[in-house]
Structure 1
Amino acid sequence: MPQASGEEKWDSVKKYKLTKMLNDLSKISGHGTELVSVYIPPKRPIHDVLGQLRNEAGTATNIKSDLTRNHVQDALNKTMEQLKLYKEPPENGLVIFCGAIPTGKGIGTEKIEIYTIVPPKPVQINLYRCDDHFWIDHIKEMLKDDRTIAIISIDTQEAGLGILTGDRWETVETLTSGVSGKHRQGGQSARRFERLRDNELNEYYHRVADYAQKIFIDQYTVKGLIVGGPGPTKDTFLREEYLDYRLQNNVIATLDTSYSGDEGVREIIEKVNDQGIMTEFRSLEEKKIVKKFMSEIFSGKGLGVYGLNDVVNYLKSGITDSIIVTDNVDLVFLEVACNKCNNKFERIVERDQLVDLKQSILSTPCKNCNGIDFSINEKDFIDFLEEYASLSGTKLDIISSKTEEGAQIESLGKIGALLRFKPMS
């Protein structure tokens, strides 16, 4: 029975698989309004959904086209069969796409396929649609990065503290400094005034830092901090390390702005969007992964390896600690067995060469018994990696091929690994 839990970490592999599935689904078009999409929120009773689908199946009897009617009813029946496996929706709800998928052999040869997804975030809508395409936009939105980023806009007069989550932002707190303006007279009076002003600034910076800790650490779980403002105040504030180390060590950008406070927060948001800072931030984790890998490659210790054959062999031997793959890998793993003598071998091939390779295998006599009767089991290369990685406790990371770091890994064959120990020569 499917697990009713959405608690598993939504890592790069799960994100890659879902993105790939949605890309494939977006290319599918029905011959009529016959592709079923169902979104089920976490708290909605399964029997309610089944009741709705039974009603829809009854309504489908009125469809004039025999082909479309049969496809819709078959899709609804298959969806209901799948739902009966659940006592209740998983923690994040459930999304099901089902329909007659063209096989490329003409109308009437379609095959009913079902795709069941436990999404990365809770489903917020009750939705049933029967259309000529799958309704994937709602779940695509869930794949957007919505980590919360802290924002401080500061000068000597005021500070604004805001948060940015996905496309949403708000100013949570504004503070005024109470610091006097600069003294223009000379002499001892001026020096005394400057000391008082420095003390006021010090107290103000501490106050901003205290609010930052309460808001960004105690109230929100932020993943990074952007500090901005006019003039040098922001730089002094950071240089003197008033902030909690958990924020101080997570500054991802400092920005010059014309304003501070609430208007400064707004200006920072605009600059973040214009300068692509969030895109850069989202690749920070990938930068760390690739940096560690490349440092091992150049160290000469023999713990960094790359290239398809070497990585796969080390993975199978159980000595890989982590594997990096770029998201533009499009390989298929084949397990081939001779049905006469049970001789087995494996192949990894680019997807666009799959048909030719299978034809070659099926027409080439077995090296062991000279037979030509083979069974071929194929699986996506990422599924193969994930399966073996889980057996050996290997961490699998899939990184974007569109970044500088991704290009580095791509130049090494699109795959690399760190080993637990140096293999014997």
Structure 2
Amino acid sequence: MAEISSKELYEFKRTINELSDKKGRGTELVSVYIPPDRQVSDVVKHMREELSQSANIKSKQTKKNVQSAIEVIMQRLKLFPKPPEKGLVLFVGMIPKGGPGTEKMENYVFEPPEPIKTYTYHCNSEFFLEPLQEMLGDKEIYGLAVIDRKEATVAVLKGKRIDIVKTLTSGVPGKHKAGGQSQRRFDRLIDLAAHEFKKRIGETINEAFLAIPEMEGVIIGGPGHTKEEFVKGDYLHHEIKNKVITTVDTSYTGEFGIREVIEKSMDVLAEIDVMREKKLVQKFLTELVSDEGLASYGEAEVRKNLEMGAVEVLLLSEDINSRRDKFECPSCGFIDAKTFKNTKTESEENCPQCGEKMNLIESKDVIDDFVEMAEEVGSEVEIISTETEEGMQLLKAFGGVGAVLRYRV
């Protein structure tokens, strides 16, 4: 996803998840996708047509709800002389909160992270989210292979995910100890077997990588010179050969070799999220183990450092499943805040000063709470996925909260 921060990506994912949970009682939830080059007046005209056609809906309640949603859309469109740079999406409808009669009109209007290509009007019992979900798909795809005379592994790197395509073994025999003609004949057989193995590797790579025309590039790794011989030889389809970015030396083959190729290609793949996240967490870990390191972890300590303005980069796991609840004592006015797992449905706290039961006055996602604190003091925020080993380590070992500091506290 081009030019979108980890914080924006997290918020976008969360919005889609929230919208996917919304269900209408009938086909009454309206979704509208407006491309940036679409005239707002044309959209309003279309909404009037849909409003007129909705009079034919048999169910009185569904008809009323659809018409109300369309009217809300037309009202919201008055705020936009033209669509934003990447277009506009609107999700509007009556969402039931319980039994019949509990429906409440909800509307979501925002600019998506990528340009909308096609104008869409959709009315159903669920919001139409497929175009937004496609924007979350991995955009940067690289082909990887690690090769030696005995074994080869072919893989595809999609964003942060490594998909092993196939592992091949050669059956190329080792060196022959005899001399003379027997030695030369055996060497020719070895060379022929190695050539046939490279052909098999090439066929596997060509078949797998040509099926992914959007592949950004190809990186070939492996111990020894086999990888260079393979790249220089006539084994790869010309389209794939033109996408070869570099070759890298590795100590391993197999899946370990593929991971080593990624590690040694950090500069080449620096823009991929997986590498960026790895570097961020690795910097945090390096600072943490250093005697003069500038790092802290854990919710309480990082909150304290944020309040002091000491945090340069705040690292938050996207899988933190907690909320920050704020309480106020009705008797003495004491205010306190605590973090709870989202699995706990209700928060009850007694005032530590007078013992009175406190009132819940605010509840928000703990990531939102941290982001607000960071923005107040100008700290950079990075939302880290759990799709990498480092991201999982941040979540499991450090509670999903870490920080690189500006100065020692």
Note whether the superposition's TM-score is higher than 0.5.
yes
Is residue 380 of structure 2 the alignment partner of residue 395 of structure 1? Answer: yes
Query: Structure 1 residues 341 and 224 mapped into 2: Cα distance closer, same or farther (>3 Å)?
Result: farther
The aligned residue for residue 329 of structure 1 is 320
> Which stretch shifts more, 390-399 or 52-61?
52-61
Taking the aligned partners of 1:109 and 1:279, their CA distance within structure 2 comes to: 53
Q: Indicate conservation of the 8 Å contact 2:33/2:116, yes or no.
A: yes
Is residue 340 of structure 2 the alignment partner of residue 349 of structure 1? Answer: yes
Matched letter for residue 128 of structure 1: Y
Query: Structure 1 residues 125 and 84 mapped into 2: Cα distance closer, same or farther (>3 Å)?
Result: same
Q: Shift of residue 69 of structure 1?
A: 1.7
Taking the aligned partners of 1:42 and 1:371, their CA distance within structure 2 comes to: 55
Query: Structure 1 residues 341 and 76 mapped into 2: Cα distance closer, same or farther (>3 Å)?
Result: farther
Is residue 278 of structure 2 the alignment partner of residue 293 of structure 1? Answer: no
Taking the aligned partners of 2:48 and 2:262, their CA distance within structure 1 comes to: 45
Identical pairs, percent = 36
Query: Structure 1 residues 380 and 83 mapped into 2: Cα distance closer, same or farther (>3 Å)?
Result: farther
Q: Shift of residue 420 of structure 1?
A: 0.9
Query: Structure 1 residues 264 and 64 mapped into 2: Cα distance closer, same or farther (>3 Å)?
Result: closer
Count, aligned residues? 322
Taking the aligned partners of 2:373 and 2:3, their CA distance within structure 1 comes to: 19
- The CA RMSD measured in Å over matched residues stands at 3.7
The aligned residue for residue 115 of structure 2 is 122
The aligned residue for residue 184 of structure 2 is none
Query: Structure 1 residues 326 and 57 mapped into 2: Cα distance closer, same or farther (>3 Å)?
Result: same
Q: Shift of residue 316 of structure 1?
A: 2.1
Q: 2:401 aligns with which of 412, 415, 418?
A: 415
Q: Shift of residue 385 of structure 1?
A: 1.6
The aligned residue for residue 191 of structure 2 is none
Is residue 349 of structure 2 the alignment partner of residue 377 of structure 1? Answer: no
Query: Structure 1 residues 302 and 232 mapped into 2: Cα distance closer, same or farther (>3 Å)?
Result: closer
Q: Shift of residue 148 of structure 1?
A: 7.7
Matched letter for residue 346 of structure 2: D
Q: Shift of residue 339 of structure 1?
A: 4.7
The aligned residue for residue 212 of structure 2 is none
SS at match of 1:144: coil
Is residue 236 of structure 2 the alignment partner of residue 260 of structure 1? Answer: yes
Query: Structure 1 residues 223 and 73 mapped into 2: Cα distance closer, same or farther (>3 Å)?
Result: same
C-alpha distance after superposition, 1:16-52 (max 9, x if no partner): 1111221232233322111111000112122221221
Q: Indicate conservation of the 8 Å contact 2:278/2:388, yes or no.
A: no
1:186-335 aligned at under 5 Å gives the runs 226=219, 232=225, 235=228, 259-262=235-238, 264-265=240-241, 282-335=273-326
Query: Structure 1 residues 75 and 421 mapped into 2: Cα distance closer, same or farther (>3 Å)?
Result: same
SS at match of 1:391: helix
Q: Indicate conservation of the 8 Å contact 1:46/1:83, yes or no.
A: yes
Query: Structure 1 residues 385 and 373 mapped into 2: Cα distance closer, same or farther (>3 Å)?
Result: closer
Query: Structure 1 residues 165 and 373 mapped into 2: Cα distance closer, same or farther (>3 Å)?
Result: closer
Q: Shift of residue 261 of structure 1?
A: 5.0
Q: Indicate conservation of the 8 Å contact 2:278/2:390, yes or no.
A: yes
SS at match of 2:346: helix
> Which stretch shifts more, 329-338 or 395-404?
329-338
Q: Indicate conservation of the 8 Å contact 2:33/2:88, yes or no.
A: yes
Taking the aligned partners of 1:31 and 1:256, their CA distance within structure 2 comes to: 63
Matched letter for residue 145 of structure 1: D
Q: Indicate conservation of the 8 Å contact 1:96/1:116, yes or no.
A: yes
Give structure 1 stretches of 5+ with no counterpart: 1-7, 152-163, 167-221, 237-253
Taking the aligned partners of 2:380 and 2:369, their CA distance within structure 1 comes to: 14
